[in-house]
């Protein structure tokens, strides 16, 4: 019965446009979309470079990308914390417990995913196009542009996969954001907090929003990847 009441309260909060709740939702979107956009700026060209070029250090970068994909978020949170805390090398920037710090942590988590997926899909495409590129004597820059253009749908899939990871993240943003009310409180950290307090209705309302967003993202990934 308690679950039913919590569910009813949760939908009440969503339907009545509870200001605090929507503030959290918007901050989550702001942090996650910013991190994913920045990660795409790094991950797309880096993935394309890894897919199309042979250069010294490529193996090492590939290994790092693969390793970072499996990095536990709390470890990323800890590392970013150490860098931006007052006594850290970037402490002077006073980023700790700000949305910017959360974006940095998310960026570190999402970039390897976008890079790896970009590398994988463009590598396949590059194999298909290679003989034509060669016969036409195209520059590496032009090859990369062509692959990014023709592999557009695959890259959107990579972007959405990155967004999915960012949306689900809690450990790193909790450590560097501090879960400060009206400032750095996002959906996942709020769910953790409200559940520990026993306020299940707020947690459930946010959970429903999070679940819906994740479902939409996964549905888009499935549609864009054509069932592959």
Over the range 33-51, which residues count as b (16 or more CB within 10 Å of their CB) and which as e? ebbbebbbeebbebbbbbb
Q: Is 54 in the site for other proteins (CB under 8 A)?
A: no
Nearer to other proteins, 26 or 134 (CB): 134
Q: Is 126 in the site for other proteins (CB under 8 A)?
A: no
Per rule CB under 8 A, count of chain residues that contact other proteins: 14
Phi, psi of 227 (to 5 degrees): 75, 10
**CB 119 → other proteins: shortest distance, Å?**
18
**Structure token digits, residue 77:** 């949170």
Out of 17, 70, 137, 227, which residue is the one contacting other proteins (CB under 8 A)? 137
Would the CA dihedral through 135, 140, 145, 147 be positive or negative?
A: positive
Out of 150, 180, 218, 223, which residue is the one contacting other proteins (CB under 8 A)? 150
Nearer to other proteins, 89 or 152 (CB): 152
Phi, psi of 105 (to 5 degrees): -60, -45
**Structure token digits, residue 88:** 């850290």
Stretch of 4-12, 128-136, 188-196, 209-217 contacting other proteins, by CB under 8 A: 128-136
Out of 136, 180, 216, 222, which residue is the one contacting other proteins (CB under 8 A)? 136
Helix axes 19-52, 140-150, angle to 10 degrees: 140
Helix axes 140-150, 99-136, angle to 10 degrees: 110
Nearer to other proteins, 52 or 106 (CB): 52
Nearest to 175 by CA among 167, 184, 183, 166: 184
**CB 56 → other proteins: shortest distance, Å?**
21
Nearer to other proteins, 48 or 105 (CB): 48
Out of 75, 134, 197, 216, which residue is the one contacting other proteins (CB under 8 A)? 134
**CB 52 → other proteins: shortest distance, Å?**
15
**Structure token digits, residue 118:** 């970009």
**Site residues (CB under 8 A) for other proteins?**
125, 128-129, 131-132, 134-138, 142, 146, 150-151
């Amino acid at each position: 019965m308690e679950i039913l009441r919590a569910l009813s309260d949760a939908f009440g909060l969503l339907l009545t446009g509870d200001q605090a709740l929507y503030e959290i939702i918007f901050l989550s979107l702001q942090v996650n979309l910013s991190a994913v956009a920045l990660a795409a700026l790094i991950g797309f060209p880096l993935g394309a470079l890894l897919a199309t070029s042979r250069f010294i250090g490529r193996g090492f970068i590939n290994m790092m990308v693969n390793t970072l994909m499996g990095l536990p978020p709390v470890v990323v949170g800890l590392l970013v914390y150490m860098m931006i805390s007052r006594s850290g090398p970037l402490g002077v920037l006073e980023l700790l417990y700000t949305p910017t710090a959360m974006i940095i942590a998310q960026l570190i988590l999402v970039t390897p995913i976008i890079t790896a997926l970009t590398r994988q899909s463009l590598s396949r495409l590059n194999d298909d196009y290679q003989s034509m590129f060669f016969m036409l004597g195209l520059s590496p820059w032009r090859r990369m542009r062509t692959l990014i253009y023709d592999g557009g749908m695959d890259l959107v899939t990579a972007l959405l996969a990155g967004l999915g990871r960012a949306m689900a993240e809690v450990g790193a943003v909790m450590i560097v954001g501090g879960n400060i009310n009206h400032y750095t409180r996002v959906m996942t950290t709020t769910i953790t907090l409200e559940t520990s307090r026993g306020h299940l209705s707020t947690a459930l309302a946010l959970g429903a929003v999070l679940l819906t967003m994740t479902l939409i993202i996964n549905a888009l990934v499935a549609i864009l990847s054509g069932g592959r």
